[in-house]
Amino acid sequence: MSITQPQKTNLQSQKPNLQLQKPNLKSLAPFILVPVIVGQIPSGLALALKPDIITDIGLDILPIPAWFFISLWVVIYAGMGITSWKILSLDTKNIKCIPVGILASGFLTTHFFWFTQSFRTTAILDALGIIISFTAYWVCAQYSRKATYWLLPWVIWMPITFALKIAALNGLFG
């Protein structure tokens, strides 16, 4: 009876080529436009259907104007789209659905914010956003470090907004 070493599977023997293909900028536009437009729909609908939602949730106690949040989330949603585009443009046989799926779940999670009934719940969603944004950054970095640069606004913003909400819950803003 002889002991042999296990055979390498196809996936183990392939070395991934993680080089970006020649960028097709025409294919980039939907990756930016769809997340930005779809990302703004829930807030637009929430404000249209319930104009007092900002006060009802308690967001009016934060010392940040609404235009800042809107602008920031346009940048964050565009960054999610660009990161997805860059990963899907990689010349590799690796499974690309994992990082793109995590980005999609992070994107969808941001929409739950408008279905909350309390400021405390928005803080909990921000804590979840920290976990998802850091996870998305880490997973995407396994595929392309350059692609993750576009996630930095999201990764940086989530702890800041969580800290603002915790400060507000503790009465720091009045």
| Cα separation, 28 vs 79, whole angstroms | 11
- With beta carbons less than 8 A apart as the criterion, state whether 43 and 53 touch: no
pLDDT tens column, 76-128: 999 999 999 999 988 777 788 889 999 999 999 888 888 888 899 999 999 99
pLDDT tens column, 128-170: 999 999 999 999 999 999 999 999 999 999 999 999 999 999 9
Contact residues for 115 (Cβ-Cβ < 8 A; gap 6+): none
Domain ranges, ordered by start, for the chain: 65-174
Split at pLDDT 50, 70, 90, the class of 173 is confident
Tokens of 115: 């279905």
- Ramachandran angles phi, psi of 20, nearest 5°: -75, 140
Residue ranges in the chain assigned as alpha helix (H):
10-13, 25-49, 53-57, 66-88, 97-109, 119-141, 145-148, 152-169
pLDDT tens column, 3-30: 655 555 554 555 455 555 566 778 999 9
Among candidates 82, 76, 171, 57, which has minimal Cα distance to 133? Answer: 76
